Structure formats: C-alpha cells, structure tokens
C-alpha cells in the first residue's frame, strides 16, 4: 500500500539530495540555514538517562532490565 504523504516526502528528499550531489555536509548545512531563517524556536532536549528503555514507564523498564541482566549468583 502506497502512502501519498510518504511518497511526497521521499520525492522532496531526493530532489534536495540531488541539488547537493549527495554531499551530506552540504545538505545538513542547507537544512540548518533554512531552520535558522524560519524564525521558529529550536528546541533541544537533554539526553535521557542511560539505563532507561525509551518509551517505557520506569517500573516496566526496571523489570525489563532486571530480566536481561546477567545473574550475580556465583556459578557452582
């Protein structure tokens, strides 16, 4: 099933990449310039704490980490 919105985004992404001949540094610099010229506030979120699984409530993440952690009991 084709999504027309996804197709449109891909089309513009490819056009943008062709404009800069696939040079990722140039593409990023152009996008930063467009972003700065937009006048919109740029929000940068602080990184999440390590050890917490993204998108999971704290209790679920703790249970998941406990299940996947190696056993601390000595081998006999």
List pLDDT tens digits, range 49-76.
776 555 666 666 556 666 655 555 555 5
Residue 28 counted as domain residue: yes
Residue 25 counted as domain residue: yes
State the residue range of the domain holding 17.
4-38
10 pLDDT higher than 90: yes
- The DSSP 8-state label assigned to residue 70 in this structure reads P
Residue 22 counted as domain residue: yes
Residue 24 counted as domain residue: yes
Distance CA(62)–CA(3), nearest Å, equals: 37
| Average pLDDT of the segment spanning 20-24 | 95
Residue 20 counted as domain residue: yes
Residue 46 counted as domain residue: no
Its pTM stands at 0.51
Distance CA(41)–CA(72), nearest Å, equals: 48
- Could you identify the residue written with the tokens 């449109």? 8
The total number of structural domains in the chain stands at 1
Residue 17 counted as domain residue: yes
């Amino acid at each position: 099933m084709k999504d027309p919105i996804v197709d449109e985004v891909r089309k513009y992404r490819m056009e943008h990449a062709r404009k800069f001949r696939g040079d990722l540094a140039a593409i990023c610099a152009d996008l930063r310039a467009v972003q700065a010229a937009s006048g919109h506030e740029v929000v940068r979120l602080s990184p999440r704490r390590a050890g917490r699984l993204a998108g999971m409530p704290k209790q679920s993440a703790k249970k998941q980490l406990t299940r996947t952690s190696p056993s601390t009991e000595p081998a006999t």
